[in-house]
A and B are shown apart, each in its own frame.
Chain A
């Protein structure tokens, strides 16, 4: 035994005698993780969160979250002697008088954008592959919670420097709070410590941004990961992969090296963006004052859809019994987002009710094999994309020679017409892909090679798929429609009549698939050939 081994042994012994960690570690060092690029999306989000904690902590060493009036005396000449808040002045100080400070600000902001983009991409992966199904519904809800918090956290961070753009964002958030019926005015006065903008909101959102929300994040992310660990990761279907096993690489050493390495890569790419691409150049925006505005005032992308919705809202406001209700703010600013996020959170339960599927799933779906869900996903994305486009309509108008009015009308109509259209088209595409899979399994791949048969007929040679490929294309279970039972055995009308009817309709739509080839069919075909 070398000296090094002896020391390591002693340390391990010391820790294990006090924690009993060895038994647990022994099992978990062998923990198996399946390998697929789409499983790394969640990791990008996780690592971005760590990057945000690190870079954010760096920024707090200089950032002064105060709305105290100061006169800028720093090194950025175009703002010399301009009156501004201490928050804005200290942001300028970080940018121009701290070495690497601007870089760190940019890394922090890019990491925030990547964080949310990765969360959304991860969400799409989980949705389209059906990874949210039993037993992972709770983790899906946690994920929706993390996305919601992430949007809020990002918006608060965007608001902290107290520049003209962020102040405009806060102005709009204030108007949304104020539009809430009955309590809105009071809520806004409590939140802002009086009339807008007041002198207190920066310190308040600062503590929420650096302590409260990151704390909640940490807790939720821990539970999110523990559930992944405990329930074991899902895997894509393929030969040897079943609902009862998980095929992949052990944590130690392969996965540790890959995941650890990937953390450095994500950090490196974020730093690279921070080094070469400017983001949130607050020194150009100027300090916030409510009487100023810039053309093309936009939020960050994760709020862009919300801004797009608000822009396209029809001008409706009602005044009844001495009270004003701003539907033009309430509907796009609170009601629609509320419906979207609640709908997302409840989707696993809605789908399970629709399909009648109550069983556990660890094998992922190929999106084409679940046309209804895939179409619903594309439909939602289409909705979001139209609203996002409208959120940048002024920038798009000037860069593509359009008018904001055209884009606005396109979005107003498109947001209603395009999502259903996307649903229908996606569903058709899924069904054609299923048909293609069926053809492939039954008749093999077209090779493009033409062969002349002895009697002069030309045929194209089809190459038979490998057994593994055939299995992958046919392993899924195709759902059956729930039979509608309107009467029970005694002939009494089913009390759940209407609900059952809707469920039967939905499950029928859900079960609309191209029948997958079976072993029997394949055998018959083969015996016919030979």
Chain B
């Protein structure tokens, strides 16, 4: 650095300015009292806690502006604990600020780097140790040790094998079979085509065999949403149109993006919206994605009616429902 870039000189630590409490005994006494008052407030907070915990009824609600009707016990316990803690803190800090020494002190930093002599000795010792162990001279030991160590890690991974079963084909299967009845969820009532009005929706599940219970894993794949439109509103190819029944179309309710329940049906636009990431699907065009991150339409379930007029599945889903995965075919 050349002479003309000479920086400004360091004037050094500023002179210590005394606080009022340092020079005025009355101020010091006042500060002492303030600290004591703060600590007493803390004690009062704890008393509030004890009172609230033991003597306020659990079902007492009091009106507090902004919060509305509030549970008095929970509020009393909370405020009691909060004040009990806060005022200890305020007292301690006020004490430190007003009465403890406030002269800044200087400490010097030590260099983090070791002395060269220490470094030398360390290297010597490390080398000697390695020499004595003979790692460098006996490569056979070294190599076999590393191989053994590496292999010894295998159980740590393999032992985790039984964390879960292998997926197999399970992601491609649902409980929907040819002829499975559609039942309302909740309620488990079979439904007829006439039960659903144009503009109506219904959350449905496959009918359960008697005595069986629906598991969450089933629900996570089986949930289906029925929507009824006017048949002329559809813009479907012949096959997909044949999967509908009198304007009723069925889609998997599990989002093809990340598996949330897609069920926000807008009657005016005939769009389905997923509230998690806002993928928007057009019901009239077989749930084609028209907005958002999802890359695939919702799988459509082919439906028809049985002899009694109840809605049934015409066939199982033709593709895997829910989010994508590596082995997914499509």
Contact = CB atoms under 8 A, between A and B. Distances in A.
Interface of A: 30-32, 99-100, 102-103, 106, 135, 168, 171-172, 174-176, 178-186, 188-199, 231-232, 239-240, 242-250, 253-254, 257-258, 260-269, 271-272, 274-276, 288-297, 307, 310-317, 319, 322-326, 328-329, 332, 360, 362, 393-394, 404-405, 408, 441, 467-468, 470-471, 474-475, 516-520, 522
Range, interface on chain B: 35 or more
B253 to A, nearest CB: 6
B164 A471 contact: no
A275 B77 CA distance: 8
Given A171-B258, A290-B216, A328 B293 contact: yes
Contacts of A106: 78
Interface stretch (B7-15, B188-196, B239-247): B7-15
Interface string B64-85: 0001000001110111011111
A197 B220 contact: yes
Contacts of B13: 239-240, 247
Given A231-B112, A239-B10, A315-B293, A272 B78 contact: yes
Nearest to A477: B7
Interface stretch (B136-144, B165-173, B229-237, B304-312): B165-173
B223 interface: yes
A225 B67 CA distance: 40
B60 to A, nearest CB: 13
A404 to B, nearest CB: 5
A293 B260 contact: yes
B85 A32 contact: no
Contact of A179 (B106, B167, B171, B323): B323
A295 B217 contact: no
B208 interface: no
Contact of B291 (A297, A360, A405): A405
B93 A467 contact: no
A190 B88 CA distance: 49
A57 B142 CA distance: 47
Given A100-B53, A315-B289, A262 B93 contact: yes
B130 interface: no
A269 B166 CA distance: 48
A264 B106 contact: no
B12 A239 contact: yes
A265 B90 contact: yes
A162 to B, nearest CB: 10
Interface string B272-300: 00011111000000000101111110000
B93 A257 contact: yes
A422 to B, nearest CB: 25
B324 A179 contact: yes
Given A244-B109, A275-B82, A314 B8 contact: no
Given A254-B100, A405-B291, A271 B6 contact: no
Nearest to B49: A100
B146 interface: no
Interface in B246-271: 253-254, 257-264
B24 interface: no
A178 B74 contact: no
Interface of B: 3-14, 53, 58, 67, 73-75, 77-79, 81-93, 95-97, 100-102, 104-109, 112, 160, 163-167, 170-171, 185, 203, 205, 216-217, 219-221, 223, 253-254, 257-264, 275-279, 289, 291-296, 322-330
Contacts of A31: 107
Nearest to A240: B13
Contact of B326 (A184, A197, A239, A394): A184
B263 A293 contact: yes
A423 B8 CA distance: 31
Given A185-B326, A522-B8, A315 B278 contact: no
15 contacts: A100-B74, A175-B257, A184-B326, A244-B109, A247-B104, A247-B105, A249-B101, A258-B92, A258-B93, A264-B85, A291-B261, A310-B293, A404-B278, A405-B291, A518-B6
B278 A474 contact: no
Contacts of A261: 88-93, 95-96
Nearest to A75: B58
Contact of B96 (A254, A266, A268): A254
Given A172-B276, A323-B327, A291 B102 contact: no
B237 to A, nearest CB: 20
B275 A394 contact: yes
Contacts, number: 323
B67 A276 contact: yes
Contacts of A193: 163-165
Contacts of B5: 518, 520
Contacts of B216: 197-199, 288-290
Contacts of B67: 276
A180 B258 CA distance: 13
The winner among B10, B91, B259, B294 for most chain A CB atoms within 10 A is: B10
B70 to A, nearest CB: 8
Contacts of A289: 216, 219
Contacts of B217: 194-198
Q: List 3 tightest A-B contacts by C-beta distance, closest first.
A: A275-B78, A261-B92, A268-B86
Contact of A247 (B106, B112, B170): B106
B299 to A, nearest CB: 14
A196 B294 contact: no
Contacts of A184: 325-326
Nearest to A276: B67
The winner among B81, B165, B166 for most chain A CB atoms within 10 A is: B81
A172 B73 contact: no
Contact of B8 (A291, A312, A393, A518): A518
B78 A190 contact: no
Contacts of B7: 474-475, 516, 518-519
Contacts of B259: 171-172, 174-175, 196, 290
Contacts of A242: 10
A244 to B, nearest CB: 6
A254 B58 contact: no
A168 B260 contact: yes
Contact of A518 (B4, B96, B97): B4
A198 B7 CA distance: 68
B167 A186 contact: yes
A380 B203 CA distance: 43
B4 A520 contact: yes
A189 B277 contact: no
A270 to B, nearest CB: 8
Nearest to A521: B4
B16 to A, nearest CB: 11
Contact of A294 (B81, B108, B275): B275
A328 B10 contact: no
A245 B293 contact: no
A388 to B, nearest CB: 15
A196 B220 CA distance: 7
Nearest to B64: A276
Contacts of A475: 7-8, 10
Given A194-B164, A289-B216, A99 B257 contact: no
